[in-house]
Amino acid sequence: MRSSQSQPSSMPSVKTLLAVLSGIPATVPPVWLMRQAGRYLPEYRALRKRADSFLDFCYTPELAVEATLQPIRRFHLDAAIVFSDILVIPDALGQRVRFEDGVGPRLDPISTMEEVARLRETGVAERLEPVYDTVSGAREGLPDGVALIGFAGAPWTIATYMVEGGTSRGHERIRKLAYDAPDMMEKLIGILTRAVADHLIAQVRAGAEAVQIFDSWAGALPATLRGHYSLRPITEIASRVRAACPDVPTIAFPRGVGTGYADYAAVPTISGVSIDQGVDASWAATALQGSAAVQGNLDPLVLAAGGRAMEDSIDGILSALGGGPFVFNLGHGIVPETPPEHVAALIARVKGTG
């Protein structure tokens, strides 16, 4: 049940996700799932065929709006996340980005100051206009009580794709550059920090009600460089979002930073931290929930497995974190082999209806 749907229409709709991100715990926590739109849904796989490349799909608002709304039609989720990708930023900056089936993203890697200087900072917002059209279209199509989340990658994570040329396991190139070429890294991170902040603010102006910053590869940084390359740019972005849109909460997802999550939760302009499945939920309740709302942290693989293992994991998370401001989510994105019925079962269990 969504609280706003039981209220008379004259009352402003209270979106549970936004209440929790403002620090107010909910009796029944709001739930949404990272990568809730995507290949595990047959209707997404059918829709995806209507564009040639994945980026064309992302830049066709009619298709991207539909992909955003598909999981909302199927499940009782409390939020939708705009359908797009973190790699629209390098694409808009003029670096060639393509997605290869079964391989993932491919970029022509950059590693020198000259290549960084060739990125086109002006006109980024214009090139991303289709994403903002998706945001406004999705907002119009959402039922009452469901919040719309805009997002972007964090500068460090986007930089890993730009420098490594795709998904990397060890991130050796960029980690070495951070020591060998700090000026080049500084310039790249600066460009990305401005582009990401502008992109999030533009999504809010188009109708996003909260924003999430995905630092999926924050855990690849040595702890000694994490403050400089992950926490500092995210803090700067969150402050710019707060200054431009004071009522819009920012959620940070620095995946894999362990006890380092406490540094992100302590930032006043960060309203929520999304924790991966490696973080102990009881530790998070004690160390994080006093300063920020916590989101997470079900293992995406236990969602794929379903059954008793999934129920026990859900119950454990709810009992550890449900007493404070908490948003139920996964520790990372839904994996493509996940049966959609498991998502329905998860939501029913969180809502106490199944």
Q: List contacts with ligand CP3 (CB under 6 A).
A: 34-39, 48, 54, 81, 83, 85-87, 99, 104-105, 151, 167, 214, 216, 333
- Is 48 exposed, middle or buried, given 0-12, 13-18 or 19+ CB atoms closer than 10 A? middle
The torsion angles phi and psi of 296, rounded to 5 degrees, stand at 140, -150
Q: Do residues 40 and 334 make contact, with C-beta atoms less than 8 angstroms apart? A: yes
- Active-site residue flag, 161: yes
Q: Give all strands of the β-sheet with 326-330 in edge-to-edge order.
A: 79-81, 147-153, 210-215, 250-254, 272-275, 293-298, 326-330
Catalytic annotation, pick one of 40, 59, 132, 161:
161
Nearer to ligand CP3, 181 or 257 (CB): 257
Counted residue by residue, the chain has a size of 354
Nearer to ligand CP3, 289 or 297 (CB): 297
- Shortest distance, CB of residue 119 to ligand CP3, whole angstroms? 18
147's tokens: 């919040």
- Active-site residue flag, 169: no
Catalytic annotation, pick one of 2, 59, 78, 85:
85
- Shortest distance, CB of residue 13 to ligand CP3, whole angstroms? 23
Nearer to ligand CP3, 113 or 335 (CB): 335
Q: Which of 94, 92, 66, 71 is nearest to 153 (CA)?
A: 92
Q: In the complex, which residue's CB is closest to ligand CP3?
A: 216
200/207 Cα distance (integer angstroms): 11
70's tokens: 């598909």
Catalytic annotation, pick one of 44, 48, 205, 232:
48
Nearer to ligand CP3, 54 or 229 (CB): 54
Nearer to ligand CP3, 226 or 289 (CB): 226
Q: Which of 152, 130, 133 is nearest to 141 (CA)?
A: 133
- Shortest distance, CB of residue 203 to ligand CP3, whole angstroms? 12
Cα 94 to Cα 90, 97, 116, 178, distances in angstroms: 6, 9, 10, 22
- Shortest distance, CB of residue 303 to ligand CP3, whole angstroms? 14
- Active-site residue flag, 48: yes
Determine the 3-state secondary structure of 80 from DSSP: strand
Nearer to ligand CP3, 49 or 308 (CB): 49
- Shortest distance, CB of residue 227 to ligand CP3, whole angstroms? 21
Catalytic annotation, pick one of 39, 127, 194, 205:
39
- Shortest distance, CB of residue 78 to ligand CP3, whole angstroms? 14
DSSP state at residue 219: G
Q: Do residues 40 and 338 make contact, with C-beta atoms less than 8 angstroms apart? A: yes
- Active-site residue flag, 264: no
**Active-site residues: which are they?**
35, 39, 48, 85, 161
